[in-house]
Amino acid sequence: MSTAPFRGIAIQPGLATGPAWLPAAPAAGPGPAGTPAEEEARWEQARQTVAAHLAALARREAGTGREMAEAQRLMALDPSLDRQVRDGVRQGRSAPEALQAAAAGFAGALRRLPEPYWQQRAADVEAVAGLLQRALAGAAPETVPAGAVVCAGDLGPAWLLERPPGTVAALALAEGGPASHLAILVRALDLPAVFGLGPAFLAAVRPGSQVWVEGGEGLVWVDPDPATRRLLEARRQAAARPARAPGPARTRDGTRITVLANLNRPEEAAAAFTAGAEGIGLLRTEFLWEDTDDPPEEVQFQAYLAVARQAGSRPVTIRTFDYGGDKSSAAEPNPFLGLRGIRLGFRHPARLLIQFRAILRAAAAGPAPLRVMLPMVSTVEEVEAARAIWEEARRQVPAAPPVAFGIMVETPAAALTAAALAVRADFFSIGSNDLVQYTLAVDRGNPAVAGLYQPQHPAVLRLIREVSRAAGAAGIAAGICGEMGGDPAAAALLIGLGLREFSMSPSRLPAFQGELSRFTVTDAEALATTALAAAGPDQVKRLVDDFRRAHSAP
């Protein structure tokens, strides 16, 4: 028994427990190859079997589940994968060997790309390859007992879709990241999940171990001692109380807090507004570049307009593209510090101009007030250069109404020069995921150092305070749109640091709003003052835990 939890990447909030279930180890070797003709026929049968299986899952599911199953079906039928497997077979390999080599090549190429979103697509390739290998072996899906906590290295969305609803209590994975297809699916299913726990977690867990998953904090306990178990059970019972109904969010003293939603694509907007979002604080636009390096302006315009129409009079903030369509960026020795965010816009100014025009056209055509936001800004020169392109786009779309022009504060450089940036921007939105990553020199997607990714580190809090103060002095709004911004445990800290606008995954909205009613702004400011003077993140966590116990719901 132990008290110390494993720390990973928080994927979906929720506290759940159950006996550990681990998938069976992969079968040994693929066996000898038949003739090339036999292996090609075997491969074709497997890919058609998997495609039909995924098509059936897509027909059964709705929304995100259908989208994930269809995406994996298309990957299973991918012509490039098919060609490489057939080439391998014709060179004398068995179909499983050829598939393994081809999938490894695709996954490796994705992992060398600079943007975590695309790196995490590698796991999706491997998941589809696993389905194809299962079909080649003639194996059936494994049975998972109801109420189990699934503990594994990594899984694909189809694995979860194959299980009856309610079977899995929670997911605890040694690998995986927040942008994977599985992560998107578990958020849609509201399934507590922690990824990136590292190999030490799998070494510690055994089939039947009692596992507790705290999805909101990224913590997992394996066979906790009785005292820890009692504490966790009390927290679970408290969390089971009905969440606050959607509506205007206020602290206990009536201070108004704006709660917005983060979207990965337009189809998620309806659920966000149903959950109580007062607008969209972050519309990621990378989905437009999934299948092409240059999505047409009209395609972009229609996508932005679709969200604007659903928003009505509520604001929508659109972030410019933040991944490298230029595949040569895969050769960068350190892509996390390379061609990202607005730097990509300057590498492709025509692409940025087109996106700006599409946003302005949507602002002119739709009812919602739109805002545009630049990612990964580090210098005032970058803001000025981007504004020059923006003004050119405005000249080309003269009918557009005023559109606020803001920046994401994601680098320590931007946070420390926020006063200078504030006079060149209409608003700030703190991208806490990258701000934490760059401040602490921790790759948030690397399981080996996931435990060092600590958003409540005093250094991070001091940077957030710097941004908040600079925005206040300049008379512009400052919000937060990273994972930290939707964490109820961080709400009081961030309000105490001066933030009043929070954007988060839609599923987090009710719990976050409920948290606000526990404390006053004066309470929050006192907590923040103490936390800013803390020596390290563990001390901050103790302060926050004590604060939440003292301000628990009646």
Residues assigned a catalytic role: 181, 481
Please answer whether residues 400 and 392 qualify as being in contact, where contact means their C-beta atoms are separated by less than 8 angstroms.
Answer: no
- Nearest residue to 424 (alpha-carbon basis) of 474, 466, 465: 474
Q: Hey, is 427 helix, strand or coil? A: strand
**How many CB atoms lie under 10 A from the CB of residue 446?**
16
Find out whether 391 is annotated in a ligand binding site.
no
Find out whether 284 is annotated in a ligand binding site.
yes
- DSSP letters along 391-416, please? HHHHHH-TT----EEEEEE-SHHHHH
Q: Hey, is 340 helix, strand or coil? A: coil
Please answer whether residues 508 and 431 qualify as being in contact, where contact means their C-beta atoms are separated by less than 8 angstroms.
Answer: no
Please answer whether residues 531 and 540 qualify as being in contact, where contact means their C-beta atoms are separated by less than 8 angstroms.
Answer: yes
Find out whether 446 is annotated in a ligand binding site.
no
Q: CA 27, CA 393: separation in Å to the nearest integer?
A: 57
Q: CA 273, CA 266: separation in Å to the nearest integer?
A: 12
Q: What is the CA radius of gyration of the chain?
A: 24
Instruction: List all residues 6 or more positions away from 174 whose beta carbon is below 8 Å from its beta carbon.
Output: 152, 153, 154, 196, 197, 198, 199, 201, 202, 447
Which residues is 213 bridged to in the sheet? 16, 220
Residue 398, CA distances (Å) to 346, 357, 364, 406, 415 in order: 23, 10, 9, 20, 33
Q: Which residue has the tokens 């394996």?
A: 222
Please answer whether residues 33 and 219 qualify as being in contact, where contact means their C-beta atoms are separated by less than 8 angstroms.
Answer: no
- Nearest residue to 437 (alpha-carbon basis) of 461, 411, 458: 411
- Indicate if the alpha-carbon torsion angle 153, 159, 161, 164 is positive or negative: negative
Half-sphere exposure of 27 (CA within 13 A, CB side): 13
Strands 219-222 and 210-214: antiparallel
Q: Hey, is 280 helix, strand or coil? A: strand
- DSSP letters along 153-172, please? S---HHHHHTSPTT-EEEEE
Tokens of 385: 């250069």
- Nearest residue to 104 (alpha-carbon basis) of 87, 89, 86, 84: 84
Q: CA 197, CA 174: separation in Å to the nearest integer?
A: 4
What single-letter DSSP state applies at residue 327? G
Spell 39-71 as b/e; 16+ CB within 10 A means b: bbebbeebbebbbebbeebbeebeebbebbbbb
Q: Binding site for Mg(2+): residue ranges?
A: 410, 434
